[in-house]
Structure 1
Amino acid sequence: MKGASGTTSLWKLRLQLMKPVTWIPLIWGVLCGAAASGSFTWTPANVAAAMACMVMSGPLLAGYTQTINDYYDREIDAINEPYRPIPSGAISLNQARAQILLLLLAGLAVAYGLDLWAGHDRPVLLLLALGGSLVSYVYSAPPLKLKQNGWLGNYALGASYIALPWWAGQALFGQLTWTTALLTLAYSLAGLGIAVVNDFKSVEGDRALGLQSLPVVFGVERASWISAGMIDLFQLAMVGVLIAIGQHLAAVLLILLVVPQITFQDIWLLRDPVAFDVKYQASAQPFLVLGMLVTALAIGHSSLVTLS
Structure 2
Amino acid sequence: MSVMTNLHSSRRVPHPRAVLSLIKPVTWFPPIWAYLCGVISVGVPVWESPGMLVIGMILAGPVVCGMSQAANDWCDRYVDAINEPNRPIPSGAIPGRWGLWIAIAMSVLALGLGSVLGPWGFGATVFGVVAAWIYSAEPFRLKRSGLWGPGLVGLCYEGLPWFTGAAVMAAGAPSWPVITIAALYAIGAHGIMTLNDFKALEGDRQTGIASLPVTLGPERAARVACWVMAVPQVVVIAALILWDRPLHAMAIAVLLAAQFWAMRVLLTDPKGRAPWYNATGVMFYVTGMMVAAFALRHLGG
Residue in 2 aligned with 1:124? 120
1:79–1:205 contact (8 Å) kept in structure 2: yes
Matched, 1:75 2:78: yes
The correspondence of residues 13-24 of structure 1 with structure 2, limited to 5 A, is 13-24=18-29
Indicate conservation of the 8 Å contact 2:14/2:98, yes or no. Answer: no
Query: Does residue 249 of structure 1 match 2:242?
Result: no
The more displaced of 240-249 and 93-102 is 93-102
CA separation in 2, counterparts of 1:90 and 1:273?
32
Matched, 1:159 2:155: yes
CA RMSD of the aligned region, Å?
Answer: 1.7
In the aligned structure 2, how far is the partner of 1:220 from the partner of 1:199? 10
What are the ranges of 5 or more consecutive residues in structure 2 without an aligned counterpart?
Answer: 1-8
1:12 match: 17
**Residues 128-148 of structure 1, C-alpha deviations (whole Å, 9 max, x = no match):** 000111111111011111111
Answer yes or no: is the 8 Å Cα contact 1:199–1:213 preserved in 2: yes
Aligned-partner Cα distance in 2 for 1:258–1:216: 27
Tell me if structure 1 keeps the 8 A contact 2:166–2:174: no
Q: Alignment identity in percent?
A: 34
Give the deviation of 1:177 after TM superposition.
3.1
- Partner of 1:62 in structure 2? 65
Which of 152, 168, 171 is residue 172 of structure 1 equivalent to?
168
Does residue 25 of the first structure (1) align with residue 23 of the second (2)?
Answer: no
Contact 2:163 2:174 in 1 (8 A): no
Q: Is the 8 A contact 2:184 2:233 kept in 1?
A: no
1:211, distance to aligned residue in structure 2 (A) = 1.0
What letter is aligned with 1:61? V
State the alpha-carbon separation in 1 of the partners of residues 150 and 230 from structure 2.
Answer: 16
Check whether the contact 1:26–1:162 (CA below 8 A) recurs between aligned residues. yes
* Cα offsets for 1:147-183 (capped at 9, x unmatched): 1110111110111111111011101111333623243
**TM-score between both structures, scaled by the size of structure 2:** 0.91
Query: Which of 213, 218, 233 does residue 215 from structure 1 map onto?
Result: 213
Offset at residue 287 of structure 1 (A): 1.2
* 2:267 alignment partner in structure 1: 270
Residue 133 of structure 1: aligned partner: 129
Separation of aligned partners in 2, 1:192 and 1:100:
24
Deviations 1:1-30 (A, max 9, x none): xxxx9xx97111011111111100111011
**CA shift in 2, pair 1:140/1:9, >3 Å:** closer
1:87 is paired with a residue of what secondary structure? helix
What amino acid sits opposite 1:194 in the alignment? I
For 2:163, give the aligned amino acid: W
Give yes or no for contact 1:261–1:288 (8 Å, CA) kept in 2.
Answer: yes
User: What secondary structure is seen at the aligned counterpart in 2 of 1:270?
Assistant: helix
2:109 alignment partner, one of 106, 109, 120: 106
Number of corresponding residues: 288
The reply on whether 1:283 has 2:280 as its aligned counterpart is yes
The one-letter amino acid paired with 1:209 is T
2:42 is the counterpart of 1:37 = yes
Equivalent residue letter for 1:245 = W
Instruction: Provide Cα deviations, 1:100-145, integer angstroms capped at 9, x if missing partner.
Output: 1221122211111122xxxxxxx11111000111111111011111
Q: What is the deviation of 1:243?
A: 1.0
Match of 2:289 in 1: 292
- CA contact 1:71–1:93 (8 Å) conserved in 2: no
Q: Is the 8 A contact 2:14 2:94 kept in 1?
A: no
Structure 1 unaligned segments of length 5 or more: list them. Answer: 116-122
Aligned equivalent of 1:258: 256
How does 1:173-252 map onto structure 2 within 5 Å? 173-174=169-170, 175-177=172-174, 179=176, 180-252=178-250
Write the distance in 2 (CA, Å) between the matches of 1:260 and 1:181: 26
> How far 1:248 sits from its partner (Å)?
1.0
Q: In 1, Cα distance between the equivalents of 2:143 and 2:77? A: 14
Superposition deviation, residue 61 in structure 1: 0.4
Aligned to 2:3: none
1:22 partner amino acid: T
Q: Is the 8 A contact 2:111 2:126 kept in 1?
A: yes
**Mapped partners of 1:186, 1:289: distance in 2:** 12
> How far, CA to CA, are the matches of 1:74 and 1:126 in structure 2?
30
User: Is 174-183 or 163-172 further displaced after alignment?
Assistant: 174-183
